[in-house]
Structures are given as C-alpha cells and as structure tokens.
Structure 1
C-alpha cells in the first residue's frame, strides 16, 4: 500500500513537472501580432501572372491556418512582402519523338516579414540569405500525356510555397 501511494505521488509530481515545460498543443504565433498586410508579390521574371496566384495562395493560407487577420497598408501590425526571383520550367523526360513527357516547374521566392510598428524584421528562418530576407524554393513536376498541365503544376508549387511562407510566421521553439 505504501509503495502504491509513493508511485502515485511520483506520477503526479512527474505530470505536474511535464506540464510546466512550455509545451503547447498546436501552432504558436506571435501573440502581439493581430493583423498582416500582404501586398501583391513582386515578380522579377519574364513570366507574368504568377505573382497574383502566389499572393492569393498566401493570403488564403494566412486566413485558414493562423489567428492573424488580413488588413490594408497602414492599418496592419505587420507586412509580409515577397519577390519571385526565378521561375524555371525544365524537361525531365521526352517521348521517342522528342515531345516533353515530364516537366518540372520551380519557383524561387524571397520573403520578408516585418513589424510595421517598430520596423523590426520578424524572420523565423534559421539561415536567411541576408538578415532580413528569407529565400524559399518550391518545385512541382507534371506530365502533359496524362492530362496534367502547367496550371496544375503552378497550383501545386504555389500551394507549397504558401505553406512554407505561413510556416515562417510561426514562433520558434
């Protein structure tokens, strides 16, 4: 009986100790940030239209996965800006008649998240290119023979990039 009471006491102390270690359930975001302004991403490539798709995907991910609200310009606490640096489309394999069988679409994007109240950069990335810029890469392959198109690959790549960008907004451990 005495052993049972000691084990129960040890178990309760251990459970109290573990709950105080700072663990949280779910994602944690900056508690002092309520709103985010996401202007249309800048596009430094010759391929037009991708900046609108990526901006829309990022805005949708912020609304669905974070507690942040989207706001306009000066009304927002923070600003998330991005620049599409490269868009590459390459052939991975061809048919016997040199028609593309598999293609690859790759985006390279730089993202900056800054606090508009203080001007401080809120970068969550461990190894950014510079102190205030984070570079992200996303790729998607597609096969025209089976009905996939550049549009489906673009959707896949932009969704992947949007997920990566929103993950940058999470607080580090």
Structure 2
C-alpha cells in the first residue's frame, strides 16, 4: 500500500469518526446523564415545610424533615428552599408510630422489636397540581401513605432511637424515589 493510499484511508477513517461523534452529540442532545434524568426537568426548587407530627414522639417531624432535605439535595437536581413560593412543595405528616414485640425469651424479656412509622405525603406545584401520584392503587386521597418498620434487638445494643432514625432515613429515600418522573 502506497503512502498516498494509506493517507487517504486514514483521512476517510478520521472523517467517519468525526461524523459519528458529531451525530452522537447532536442526536443525544435532549438526553441527560446521571440521576438528573430521573426527575422532572421543569422544577428547580422544592419547599419542605417542617413536617407535622401526630404522634407522641415530638421529634419525629423535625428528624424526618432533616432526612428528606438531605435526601432531596443528595439525589435530585432540586434545591431545597425555605421559600414557600418555590416551584413545588412537599408536605408530609407523621401519622403513626408504633413499637411491636417480635420475640421474647423464656423469662418474658423482650429480645427483638419492630419500630414502625407511617407518613402521609403529597408533592404539588404552585398551581396545586399533584406531582407524586399513587399509580399502583389509585385513590381519591390527595396523599400517598408510606410505612416503614425497622427491627432492633436491645440485647445487641440496638435502641429504639437507632431503629427510628433508620426508619426515617428509609422513608425519606422512598418518598424521594416517588418524586422521580414517570416513564
């Protein structure tokens, strides 16, 4: 193969490569990489008011508000803001908190328990349109019910507070997952 033919082949390969790269860049322009593609693109800010708490454990609302704020900032392209005029508002309410004995030993000492928390949540835009909908079981209710339980074993040094914190973090994760755009 002569130098001229070799040069023609390399020029043809280079132009083919440039064409393919340009086609990919232009053809893939509306696509996004990373987790930002999972969430609606017309939203920039989310207001998360302090979560109301209907239980006797006074700190659950504040703790869930913190967990939700961290989860939204970590996993979504949205900015959590204190401004009630944000693009959207995520309202939640802790409606129940229970502790249930799972196992006891022969002397009736508790060995394992479940800590359960139930939360009602709704996410809406400025016009009041719901952005988070229960597509599995449609109801007339404007909220979605989330429930999370965590097992803990006092004999192993685990406490109700540790189990509750884990349940709150898991609830925040599940609520933020429901903020993803539907396919």
TM-score, length basis structure 1:
0.82
Kindly name which structure, 1 or 2, has the bigger radius of gyration based on alpha carbons: 2
SS at structure 2 position matched to 1:39: coil
Select 2:150's aligned residue among 110, 115, 140. Answer: 140
Alpha-carbon distance in 2 for matches of 1:41, 1:54? 7
Unaligned runs of 5+ in 1: 1-11
Deviation at 1:47, TM superposition (A): 2.1
1:6 corresponds to: none
Alpha-carbon distance in 1 for matches of 2:138, 2:175? 13
Alignment of 1:105-116 (within 5 A): 105-116=115-126
Q: CA RMSD in A?
A: 2.1
Deviation at 1:100, TM superposition (A): 1.0
SS at structure 2 position matched to 1:53: helix
Select 1:120's aligned residue among 120, 123, 129. Answer: 129
More moved, 137-146 vs 36-45 = 36-45
2:173 corresponds to: 163
For 1:70-118, what per-residue CA distance to the aligned partner results, in whole angstroms no more than 9, with x for missing partners? Answer: 11233411100001111110000112221211000111111000102x2
Alignment of 1:36 with 2:81, yes or no, is no
Q: Are the equivalent residues in 2 in contact too, given 1:85–1:109 (CA < 8 A)? A: yes
Q: Are the equivalent residues in 2 in contact too, given 1:89–1:104 (CA < 8 A)? A: yes
Unaligned runs of 5+ in 2: 1-19
Runs (4+) off by over 3 Å: 22-27, 128-131
Alignment of 1:1-173 (within 5 A): 26-27=34-35, 28-116=38-126, 118-126=127-135, 127-173=137-183
Alignment length, in residue pairs? 155
